[in-house]
Structure 1
Amino acid sequence: MNIVDIARVPEGSRRGASRRGAARRVGSNAILIGAGALLFAASAAATVRRYAYMATMSGTPMAGRWMISAIWAPMCGQTWLHAAASFACMWAVMMPAMMLPVLVPMLMREREPSSDSASIRSALLTILVGMGYFLVWILAGCAVFPLGAALAAIALRVPAFAHAAPAAGGAVVVLASLLQFTSWKAKRLAWCHDMRQRTRRAPGGACAALLRGMRLGLNCGTCCGNWMIVLLALGVMDLGSMAIVTAAIAAERVAPCHGHVVRILGLAGVAVGVSMMVRGF
């Protein structure tokens, strides 16, 4: 349709088409939000159940008055491969509960339905974007386990290392929280906010959608990676710590005055880390 043809279309028809397009977008976003809420609830329930199960497994008392979680070592009758698979399963279950509050607004920008067939295609591509996003986080969990298992093994064999672990964990929390005040963090948050505001641009195909999701996951991971480090230092099996970190990640992404929120969260993290260091000495 050229400019002359558009000019010939009655104004009422154009307004009607605009209203129908807006209605389709609202309906599509409502479905996406509803599906995200259901997945969030399922992930949160499964995470709580998993944590309750792991709570029944007694950890190992360590020098320095702390307990090492059973997730970092094979349980009775398990191999290291089984332990790694168990951790990856737990990590994959809890990631939707942690990251969906920031992912859904980005996924809403991937939808641009114009007809029923386009809506179905858009929905399938959105699912692929989400799969690519969480694939990155699952791979990150697979990389985290060897590091955590190695540190746990050292703590079990070197009492001095175990005794210093609580204070060292506090120092890690302080350093991770100080990243909130850097230009490195500001640039990545700016990218995330720009992603939420930019014009909709649906991926061209299945492979492009999957790669798009992986790119979103990589950028999101670098943006909130310092908070994931805080969670690991506080204890990945601690539900309270997980809830606080999830709230912090969501707040710095969606808050209107996110610059102030980022700095407030950084100060709170530094305070928590210093408290851990004091208790560890």
Structure 2
Amino acid sequence: MTSTLQPERTVMQADGEHHTRPSASLTTRIAFFGTIALLCALAWGITARLETPMAAMSGMPMAGGWSMSMMWMRMPGQTWAGAVTAFMAMWLAMMAGMMLPVLAPALWQQHRTLAGSNGLRKVWLNLVTGSGYFLVWAIAGLLIWIIGRELADLAMQHPPLARHVPLLAGSMILVAGLAQFSPHKMKLLVRCHHSSCHTPCARNTRIAWWQGIRHGWSCNLCCANLTLVLLVCGMMDWTVMSGVTGAILMERWSVHAWSVRGIGVLLLGAGLWLVMHVGR
């Protein structure tokens, strides 16, 4: 597995020749990654502000001894359009905080391949790539809200089903843990590492846009099991968000397969604990 922190310095151009990417100055590196860090901090700040009203309201008590989060319901006086807008704003802010560090190596490689271009063009193409990337996450968030809303309705209308939700949640975490050991997960991680380390030169806006779309799609597939853990354990729980963010960064930045399997072991342990404590 290739590290996203140690990308190769050569790139294949359209003429079939290998060209060495110019080394970036320390000032350029500090400016680029400092900007990413500031954007992450801003995204987490917005997330905290948007989540505060929902977190302040207690969830709806459900059969089985659990509470349904307010994010699947309308706030008092809120329309359905307002509810989905509020969810999407919170979702995108949270995804920006979680996934910008994952996207940063790909943006950095794109930035380096544009040697000789003016600064505004580099910034523009980075923004286009980032927009395509987070568009994929926005579509995923909308689908999650629609499915989550339907499942919430089923749980409220069928108390026997609601009683089995804690067991179902533990089982889903077990599945997410098992997925960490699958060859499919490793292939997805290799693809994500490759797209981060070997980003081709984005010569125009269209190429940059589709690079973002492709990278966003790969990240969504790769993070699907960890996203499931986030949804099951609670999007508005900062401990859960921090843990999932740390797991995503660890498996993306580490060059060792043991880090992926270690996350799987932790998830299996958490899932088993939840399943064994259902009804106690």
Distance 1:38-1:62 versus aligned 2 partners, 3 A rule:
same
Amino acid at match of 1:22: S
Alpha-carbon distance in 1 for matches of 2:99, 2:218: 13
Q: How does 1:1-281 map to 2 (within 5 A)?
A: 21-24=22-25, 26-111=26-111, 112-115=113-116, 117-198=117-198, 201-257=200-256, 259-281=257-279
- Contact 1:113/1:119 (CA < 8 Å) preserved in 2? no
Q: Give CA-to-partner distance per residue, 1:182-223, whole Å, 9 cap, x none.
A: 11101011112223333x522121122111101100001101
Partner of 1:8: none
Post-superposition CA distance 1:208-260 (Å, at most 9, x none): 21111011000011011110011111111211111100000000010132x00
Larger Rg computed on CA atoms: 1
- 8 Å CA contact 2:110, 2:201 repeated in 1: yes
CA distance, structure 2, for counterparts of residue 34 and residue 93 of structure 1? 19
User: Which amino acid in structure 2 is aligned with residue 159 of structure 1?
Assistant: P
Unaligned runs of 5+ in 1: 1-17
What is the identity, as a one-letter code, of the residue corresponding to 2:162?
Answer: A
**What code does the residue aligned with 1:133 have?**
Y
Query: Following superposition, which runs of at least 4 residues in structure 1 exceed 4 angstroms of deviation?
Result: none
Q: Which amino acid aligns with 1:256?
A: V
Residue 6 of structure 1 corresponds to none
Q: Runs of 5+ in structure 2 lacking a partner?
A: 1-19
Question: Whole-Å Cα distance in 2 between the matches of residues 114 and 228 of structure 1?
Answer: 36
SS where residue 128 of structure 2 aligns?
Answer: helix
Please give the TM-score of this superposition, normalised by the length of structure 1. Answer: 0.87
Task: Write out per-residue CA displacement over residues 76-109 of structure 1, whole angstroms, 9 at most, x where no aligned residue.
Answer: 2222222111111110111111111211112111
The one-letter code matched in structure 2 to 1:38 is L
1:23 deviates by 4.4
Aligned length: 259
Structure 1 residues 183, 192: CA separation in 2 closer, same or farther (over 3 Å shift)? same
Match of 2:252, as an amino acid?
R
Contact kept? 1:32, 1:104, Cα under 8 Å: no
Mapped partners of 1:88, 1:240: distance in 2? 21
8 Å CA contact 1:48, 1:239 repeated in 2: no
Percent identity over the alignment is 36
Q: CA RMSD in A?
A: 1.8
SS at match of 1:67: strand
Give the structure, 1 or 2, with the largest relative contact order (CA under 8 Å, sep 6 or more): 2
Residue 49 of structure 1: CA displacement?
Answer: 2.3
CA contact (8 A) 1:28 1:113 kept: no
How big is the shift at 1:157?
Answer: 1.4
What residue in structure 1 maps to residue 13 of structure 2? Answer: none
